[in-house]
């Protein structure tokens, strides 16, 4: 199952009782009545609260181990659309920098030699000139080659181009975080079918 997550919703419970995307997916599965048990479903990827886009769920315990192995093997091709602050001078770049927890702020991650290997491929789609009081920005396609917490946000901030609206690694904006999980592609571990899923971007560059 794939769901297009809205901004402001968490994927997993955080102990506060706040309704989550997983709760919504469980309700949807029950309403569909396809014979799957809502208690067996598990999210296969996580998005930050203010990130929008594709979240995948496995629906039964039989296929869950195969999907778990695919996550470990980075077998899901994931592309994001984002707006970054400033004019990015290069057209395409592999950002290869380890990411670790920030010892001074438990909410944050940081680039550091002690961190886990992390790779993000970034391609500039369009450079947006300053207009109507808005600063120069870069519209980018981002491919995650690994899956660390806040990876895209940390890597772009380390290149001095934090994402627009990033309240942790950049500057908060009324528009919110401009990061969208646009597509996921993978080969189904049971059927062998190639699957490509896209969620339309809720904002325009």
Report if residue 113 sits inside a domain: yes
Model's pTM, two decimal places? 0.92
* Residues that are catalytic: 48
Report if residue 203 sits inside a domain: no
Report if residue 204 sits inside a domain: no
Specify the CATH number for the domain of residue 159. 3.30.2350.10
Which residues of the chain fall below pLDDT 70?
Answer: 34-38, 133
pLDDT reported for residue 133: 67
Buried-exposed string 81-94: b where 16+ CB fall within 10 A, e elsewhere: bbbbbeebeeeebe
Q: What's the domain range around 130?
A: 2-198
Give the tens place of pLDDT for each residue, 60-111: 888 889 999 999 999 999 999 999 999 999 999 999 999 999 999 999 999 9
Report if residue 93 sits inside a domain: yes
Q: How many domains does the chain have?
A: 1
């Amino acid at each position: 199952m794939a769901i297009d997550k809205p901004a402001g919703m968490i994927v997993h419970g955080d102990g506060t009782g706040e309704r989550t995307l997983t709760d919504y997916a469980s309700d949807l599965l029950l309403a569909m009545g396809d014979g799957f048990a809502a208690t067996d479903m598990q999210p296969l990827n996580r998005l930050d609260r203010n990130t929008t886009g594709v979240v995948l769920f496995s629906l039964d315990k039989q296929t869950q181990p195969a999907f778990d192995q695919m996550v470990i093997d980075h077998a899901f091709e994931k592309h994001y659309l984002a707006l970054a602050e400033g004019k990015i001078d290069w057209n395409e770049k592999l950002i290869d920098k380890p990411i670790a927890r920030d010892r001074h702020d438990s909410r944050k991650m940081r680039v550091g030699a002690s961190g886990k290997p992390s790779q993000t491929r970034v391609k500039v789609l369009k450079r947006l000139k300053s207009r109507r009081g808005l600063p120069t920005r870069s519209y980018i396609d981002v491919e995650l080659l690994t899956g660390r917490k806040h990876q895209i946000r940390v890597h772009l901030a380390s290149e001095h181009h934090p994402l627009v609206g990033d309240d942790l690694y950049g500057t908060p904006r009324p528009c919110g975080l401009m990061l969208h999980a646009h597509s996921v592609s993978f080969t189904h571990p049971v059927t062998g079918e190639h699957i490509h899923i896209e969620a339309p971007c809720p904002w325009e560059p």
